[in-house]
Amino acid sequence: MADLYLNGTQYSAVRLKLRQWLLFEKAQVNIKKLIENKQTDEYANALCLLVSNTLGAPLNQVQDAPWYDVVSAYGLINELNQVRGIPLTKQTGPPDSKEPEIPWEYSGREWYWWLHTLSKEYGWLPGQVEELDIDDAISLLQEILVDEQINREWQWSLTELAYPYNETTKKHVFKALKRPEWMRDQPQVILPGLKLKFPKFMIPVGRVIGEDENERLVS
Amino acid sequence: MSVLSLSKAVKLYRLLKPYIPDIHQEPTALGFVSKIVYNIREQNPRAYVDALALMQGTDVSTIIETYTPEESVLEFTHGLEENQILALQDYCIKIGL
């Protein structure tokens, strides 16, 4: 919790619980779109509305407050509502510009998706789910998704599709089910021109395939 | 003159944007503000009056009737300081305006 002032009136900014946080995130997405489209009037109104809803402050008071009070209030609210580094939330690639639209999508579905997913798994009531801290909710969701993926991989490994025939080796080779991006190892970044020196006793002896994929003999 | 609301501050920035100098060329706050006033008066007197009217919360005709050119410059400069133009510019750049 953090105290802040808008036009001389004190308010307390708090970390939002799951259901409120989902609305907050949706408003954030909307604000981002407005600024990308240079709809500055709508942007300012949307930001004031978000601050007003989050702090419980009257909208006209936020709209009339000095701009830097509103901006710093928004910054504080945003900081309080950050999600800690959970792999599931890490964006590894560029965002999909065109997310496929699904026919059963509707406004406000996010909450019902979370409620359904968590209550199905843990048998919780709506009141319990909506009061979850967002870090807890996302961590639990990650565990659910990991469980689902491991089960899927197990099922996959039992099917013939997982063992395609390799014409060259004349063998069936296991082909693992692809994991979602956040479950994969992070690729190691090798800086160009960076040479690492290892003590001689650590270097393998015999036929070695180097990083250039050429085979050479090391003695 | 009171500090502008977010919506009006963004409008002010959009009016002033073409006349805001490079911060590196005008490192002092006074020099920075003076350069904005100079640029906008020289290049677009209409935008100058519009911006002053916005900061004063009034209309263009009232500004023209009320202030002498010297008074208007003082009011304009005061308005930019009051609205923390440097911070406003920083914020607007950050959000991509």
Nearest neighbour of B97 by CB, restricted to A40, A66, A70:
A40
Cα–Cα distance, B52 to B55 (Å, whole number): 5
Q: Do B5 and A38 touch (CB under 8 A)?
A: no
Per-residue pLDDT at A189: 64
Amino acid at B24: H
Query: What is the structure's pLDDT at B7?
Result: 95
Asked if A40 and B14 come within 8 Å (Cβ–Cβ), the reply is yes
Q: Check residue A148 and give its pLDDT.
A: 96
Q: Which of B8, B83, B91 sits opposite A71 (nearest CB)?
A: B91
Residues in chain A: 219
- Are B5 and A68 in contact (CB < 8 Å)? no
Q: What does chain B look like in DSSP terms, one character per residue? A: -PPPPHHHHHHHHHHHGGGPPPTTTS-SHHHHHHHHHHHHHHH-HHHHHHHHHHHHTS-HHHHHHH--HHHHHHHHHHHHHHTTHHHHHHHHHHTT-
| pLDDT computed for residue B47 by the predictor | 94
Could you say which of A35, A47, A68 has the minimum Cβ distance to residue B84? A68
Q: Are A148 and A155 in contact (CB under 8 A)?
A: no
Label residue B43 by pLDDT band (50, 70, 90): very high
Average pLDDT, chain A: 88
What would the pLDDT profile of A56-100 be if each residue is shown by its tens digit?
Answer: 999 999 999 999 999 999 999 999 999 988 888 876 666 655 667
What is the average pLDDT value for chain B, to the nearest integer?
Answer: 91
Amino acid at site B74:
L
The predicted-structure confidence for B46-91, as pLDDT tens digits, reads as follows 999 999 999 999 999 999 999 999 999 999 999 999 999 999 999 9
Of residues A81, A67, A64, the one with CA closest to residue A24: A81
- The confidence band for B96, taking pLDDT boundaries of 50, 70 and 90, is confident
- Residue B28, pLDDT score: 83
Query: What mean pLDDT is predicted for residues B40-46?
Result: 92
- A 10 A CB-CB count for A7 gives 15
Write out pLDDT tens, residues A106-123.
Answer: 999 999 999 999 999 999
Using the structure block, give the residue that is written with the tokens 């996959």: A156
CA distance A98 to A84: 27
Would the pLDDT of A27 be above 80?
Answer: yes
Please choose, from the candidates B36, B31, B19, B17, the residue with its C-alpha nearest in 3D space to the C-alpha of residue B90: B17
Name the pLDDT band for A197 (thresholds 50, 70, 90). confident
Question: Does B7 contact A71 at a Cβ distance shorter than 8 Å?
Answer: no
Chain A residues with CB under 8 Å of a chain B CB are: 35-36, 38, 40-41, 43-45, 47-48, 63-68, 70-71
How many CB atoms within 10 Å of residue A176? Answer: 9
In a mutagenesis test of the B interface, which of A67, A71, A74 is the best target, namely the one with the most B β-carbons within 10 Å? A67
pLDDT (average), residues A189-195: 65
Cβ distance of A38 and B97 shorter than 8 Å: yes
B-chain CB neighbours of A40 within 8 Å are 7, 10-11, 14, 97
Is 0.85 exceeded by the ipTM? Answer: yes
Count the neighbouring beta carbons within 10 Å of the beta carbon of residue A9. Answer: 13
Q: Between A and B, how many CB-CB pairs are < 8 A?
A: 51
Q: Which residues contact A69 (CB under 8 A, 6 or more apart)?
A: A4, A5, A6, A7
Which residue of chain A comes nearest to B2, CA vs CA?
Answer: A66
CB contact (8 A) between residue B6 and residue A36: no
- Contacts of residue B86 in chain A, CB cutoff 8 Å? none
State the CB neighbour count (10 A cutoff) for residue A154. 10
The pTM is what?
Answer: 0.78
Our CA dihedral for B45, B46, B49, B53, rounded to 10 degrees, sits at -160
Question: Sorting pLDDT into bands at 50, 70 and 90, what band is A187?
Answer: low
Domain boundaries, chain B: 6-17+27-94
pLDDT at A174: 92
The answer to whether the beta carbons of residues A7 and A66 sit under 8 Å apart is: yes
Q: Between chains, do A38 and B4 touch, taking CB under 8 Å as contact? A: no
A35, A65, A68: residue with CB nearest B96: A35
- Tokens, residue B70: 């010297």
User: A219 or A12, which is more confident?
Assistant: A12
Task: Say if residue A17's pLDDT is above 90.
Answer: yes
